[in-house]
Amino acid sequence: MKTDALRTLRRKLADGTPVFGLWVTLESPSITEMAVALGMDWIVVDAEHGHLDWKEIVEHVRAAVRSQTVVLVRVAERSIGLIKRALDVGADGIVVPWIESAEQLREIVSYARFPPEGVRGIGAERATCWGQCLMQHTQEANEHVLVVPVVESVAGGRAIDSMLQVEGVELFMFGPSDYSSSAGYRGQWEGPGVADQLLAIKDKILAAGKNVGIIATSNENLQERVQQGFRMVCVGIDSGLLLRGLHGALAIAGRDRRIAASFAPEGDSVGAVVERPPEAYRPDRAEVITPVGAGVVAEIGRGVSFECLVGKPQGARNLTTGLVTFAPGAELEYHLHPYAESVTLLSGALVVEVEGRRYTLTSLDNITIPRNLAHAAVNTSSAQEAIVHVAMPTEAPSRTLVDKFFSRRGMSEDSPGKDGAEHVTRQRTARRFAAGQGASFIDYFNRDLVPGIEMSGGYGVFQPGGRLLAHFHDFDESICIVEGRATCIVEGRQYALSDCATALQPRGRVHYFINQSQAPMVMIWVYGGPVPERLVVAEHNCTVEGNPWKSR
């Protein structure tokens, strides 16, 4: 145990000085040696996730010996055996996952302390210099050991007031991803509302005179976390930092790609990177950016209006998207289309009926209705508007009213729809997949999800710094920015989009989106084809100089 390093860490925290560290998941102790050489205040060796064995863990601990870098080990669970072993091999403290009560917290504090204050057994291992320093270590360990619980669930957040009363704990860590999962947003780093909840918990911890740690997701996020008052800030996970550098270098070389869960090259919609688009894809139209308020507006029902953001007015082909606004209590009576329709709730309260089956949508839920299927919609609020994003695979929308009675029946909140008919996607629980660096997508609809559909589309969330590779499509695309701010690059031309502004990318236009803000950005994307195919090209195609379609 490096008592001098622990004193220095505590002194910095007491002075309000942020302490920076590295999360270690890879085997090589050279990683820890680099962190020590760069003057990192602390590292966490992660023995919860991944594949580190105890031989590798002790090598990381040994790599920081005689330094001012505090070494913590995150154990796999709340276990006296794991905590005792981590401290016996010489760790300066422990990080324990998924703590949800004051009782659990008192338990792990006792596991980390020798009697009579705790129940930690005394061993002749590295911590005691193999039995040569029993007296010194047992006298100083209880005072200096760091016990760091991870608050990574809604239940843990709710118990923070009682946990702050537990003696022997001066530092908490947050796990935003698991917290988001427990809140119903599996696969997101910070789902809707989670960021505000964590900041509120952070404020309580600071008010109690204790400190909070968190992992930064980017260099910009690192600065943001310090400004928010986090004192123990992780600059990143070793593997994540390596991948960030690799993605950046490969993007410059025009060779970036996403990793498949199987670790095999994906035979999916992204495909291989090509040097430039084939001449057969040369576009015949320019991109069009349409902010809300600039589109053509039509009344489609009493108290119901549609603003076209991508469609015939913008020169789109086989695609119409836009916003439908329902006044309080307004409804659209039963009708059908000769093509599919996608409906995504952005704000307010909406019930969509399909042949009597009633679905209550919440924010960013989607229902996709195949062609010739009767449906209706109603704003169930008497005080607030409801706004939805709609998409149709045509540039000439039409509908036919249906004069028929349907017996109504409410569908459950987790109903995926009816086989062979409507398809429902609940944003909170939908399967997500990586779409690019710092970007994850949900598929709302495509020919696999809705057989016979003529379009594909879904939801994408971009963390700060998140982006897609330069690409083009064999069909028109609509991209609506429903949350945050996005930067769109089209062959060297740059656009800023927010507040539901929508971009039309015609077939063949090389483009990509990037989140250059400090907050997440969310988009709804729709392709004018049934398979979500992206044809990836070298990055230089998205520059003024490398524009593949400029006059030659």
Tell me the catalytic residues: 49
Q: What is the C-alpha separation between 250 and 221, in angstroms, rounded?
A: 22
User: Around 504, how many Cα atoms within 13 Å sit in the side-chain half-sphere?
Assistant: 28
Give CA angle at 107 (102, 109), nearest 5°: 95
The set of residues, in sequence order, having a beta carbon less than 8 Å from that of 199 and lying 6+ positions away, is 228
Instruction: Give the number of other Cβ atoms within 10 Å of residue 284's Cβ.
Output: 9
β-pair type (320-326, 386-392): antiparallel
Residue corresponding to tokens 């449906």: 375
- Tell me: cis bond preceding 149? Omega within 30 of 0 counts: no
Could you tell me if 311 and 502 are in contact, meaning their C-beta atoms sit under 8 angstroms apart? no
β-bridge mates for residue 357, sequence order: 354, 409
The string of DSSP codes covering 160-196 is HHHHTT-TT--EEEE-HHHHHHHTT-TT-SS-TTHHH
CB 98 within 8 A of CB 153: yes
| Contact status, residue 26 vs residue 33, Cβ threshold 8 Å | no
Place of tokens 């939801």: 459
Burial 323-338 (b: 16+ CB within 10 A, else e): bbbbbeebbbebbbbe
**C-alpha triplet 530, 532, 536: angle, nearest 5°:** 140
The two tokens of residue 253 are: 């070389």
Helix H segments across 171-280? 176-182, 194-207, 219-227, 238-253
- Calculate ∠ Cα 195-196-201, nearest 5°: 100
Count CA atoms closer than 13 A to 425's CA, side-chain side: 23
Residue with tokens 């050489």: 37
Helical pair 54-63 and 30-37, crossing angle rounded to 10 deg = 20
Nearest CA-CA partner of 329 in 376, 378, 387, 363: 378
